[in-house]
A and B are shown apart, each in its own frame.
Chain A
Amino acid sequence: MNIRFMAGLALAALIPVLAYAAAAQKPVLDAYAVAAKAENTGFSGFSAERGKVFFLAKHDASSETPSCTTCHTTDPTKAGQTRAGKDIAPMAVSKTPDRYTDAEKTEKWFLRNCQSVLGRACTAQEKGDFITFMASL
């Protein structure tokens, strides 16, 4: 078969996947919105811009992991690396569509990584902002 035709087919197959990506994260985001309202009655939605600032921020709870970017790099569309040298698939939903679709997995990693980097749990607001940022890329 002709290569261009194959490439076309592959592209056509990708389009619905991309369009679907943000919707796949909706249940997890909705749950964080409910939790955020419970944490703060003034809650007014999630913001990709705030999520970006949070993602790039440096903290001083740990010298080994001062920032989310220590492992996820400053470009979420690129693969990251653990401290033991293993690749981490990109955090951006456009690159890794099944991110933030398994609530249990997402919550497990927020729990660990927020403790490692911030020395405390993240708020539902921070989690929702983070995912909103990752879904906007």
Chain B
Amino acid sequence: MRKVWAGLFAGAVALLGVGVFGTQRVFSANAGPDAAYVKECSACHIAFPAQYLPKRSWERILGSLDKHFGENATLSPTALAPIKAYLDAHAADSAMGNPRILRDVPASVTPIRITEMPFWTRAHAKLIARKAFDAPKVKSGANCIACHRGAANGRFEDDD
């Protein structure tokens, strides 16, 4: 399996070239997520980096947890409050965020998936073309940690 990934990475790196590595800082999501967020939002997938969606997206997600991508992920209002505060303070359009993440996202659009953000589809264009995200070991583009081993800590730049 490692070999397959090594091949995939090599392929992706060759395609994306220095461009991607040159911008790795830009995409690195290095603010440590807080405990409440990790506790409640990492049971079904990793606690996604707050920096990868704008505030309005997090608000929409937190406001519809009873219908969360086909599942019920309801939280009590007490559990929700600190999560909302954290995501608000670390979103792409917060002081902690990076405006480049929002490139090509019109203000009128509220994405609810990181995997539909232009920065994400650009970085994974070759893998998308190869249907790499349908592989049984991966299951979904949202399974960041299948390919980015540092994903739970907000690290996406290292290729292991």
A interface with B by C-beta (< 8 Å): 62, 64-65, 81-86, 108, 111-113, 115-116
Contacts of B10 in A (CB 8 A): none
Q: Contact flags (1/0) for B72-116 with A, using CB distance below 8 Å?
A: 111110000000000000000000000000000000000000000
B interface with A by C-beta (< 8 Å): 43-46, 66, 69-76, 137-140, 142-143, 145-146
Q: Tell me if B72 and A112 are in contact (CB < 8 A).
A: yes
Taken together as a complex, chains A and B put the C-alpha atoms of A86 and B142 apart, in Å, by 10
Given contacts A65-B71, A112-B73, 8 further A-B contacts (CB under 8 A): A82-B43, A82-B45, A83-B140, A84-B142, A85-B146, A108-B74, A112-B72, A113-B72
Q: Tell me if B71 and A116 are in contact (CB < 8 A).
A: yes
Taken together as a complex, chains A and B put the C-alpha atoms of A112 and B76 apart, in Å, by 12
B66: nearest chain-A partner, CB-CB: A115
Taken together as a complex, chains A and B put the C-alpha atoms of A124 and B140 apart, in Å, by 35
B138: nearest chain-A partner, CB-CB: A85
Taken together as a complex, chains A and B put the C-alpha atoms of A124 and B68 apart, in Å, by 25
Nearest CB of A to B44, in Å: 4
Out of B44, B66, B137, B145, name the residue touching A83 (CB < 8 Å): B44
A86: nearest chain-B partner, CB-CB: B45
Taken together as a complex, chains A and B put the C-alpha atoms of A103 and B70 apart, in Å, by 25
Q: Tell me if B140 and A84 are in contact (CB < 8 A).
A: yes
Nearest CB of B to A83, in Å: 7
Q: Tell me if B140 and A116 are in contact (CB < 8 A).
A: no
Jot down 9 A-B pairs with beta carbons below 8 A, ordered by A. A65-B71, A82-B43, A84-B45, A85-B137, A85-B140, A85-B142, A86-B44, A112-B72, A115-B66
Nearest CB of B to A127, in Å: 16
Contacts of B44 in A (CB 8 A): 82-84, 86
Taken together as a complex, chains A and B put the C-alpha atoms of A84 and B138 apart, in Å, by 8
Q: Which one of B70, B71, B75 has the highest number of Cβ atoms from chain A below 10 Å of its Cβ?
A: B71
Contacts of B69 in A (CB 8 A): 83
Taken together as a complex, chains A and B put the C-alpha atoms of A39 and B137 apart, in Å, by 43
Q: A84-B143, A86-B143 are in contact. Are A62 and B70 (CB under 8 A)?
A: yes
